[in-house]
Each structure stands twice: as structure tokens, then as C-alpha cells.
């Protein structure tokens, strides 16, 4: 499995913030896009 930089940043944001909602706000993307 190859991760893109965008996917890796999303993973780190969710891990650091422990929330998909907070991570999506931090990354300025929708929660649906983050969960894909």
C-alpha cells in the first residue's frame, strides 16, 4: 500500500487530534473526504 503525502498528513492529523471532525477542520477538508 502506497500512501500519498495528503493521506499521510490526514492520518497524522487524526492520530494527533483524536477526532475526524477536528482533523478535517485542521486540514480544511470535509469530514467525508477525510474518511475515504
pLDDT digits over 6-20, tens only? 999 999 999 999 999
Find, among 2, 20, 32, 1, the residue nearest to 10 by Cα: 20
State pTM to two decimals: 0.82
Give the rounded percent of residues in the chain with a pLDDT score beyond 90: 86
Residues 6+ apart with CB under 8 A from 12: none
Mean pLDDT (whole number) for 8-35: 95
**Residue 1, pLDDT above cutoff 80:** no
| Kind and range of the H or E run holding 13 | helix 5-17
Amino acid at each position: 500500500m502506497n500512501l500519498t503525502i495528503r493521506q499521510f498528513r490526514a492520518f497524522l492529523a487524526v492520530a494527533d487530534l483524536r477526532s475526524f471532525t477536528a482533523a478535517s477542520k485542521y486540514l480544511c477538508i470535509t469530514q467525508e473526504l477525510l474518511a475515504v
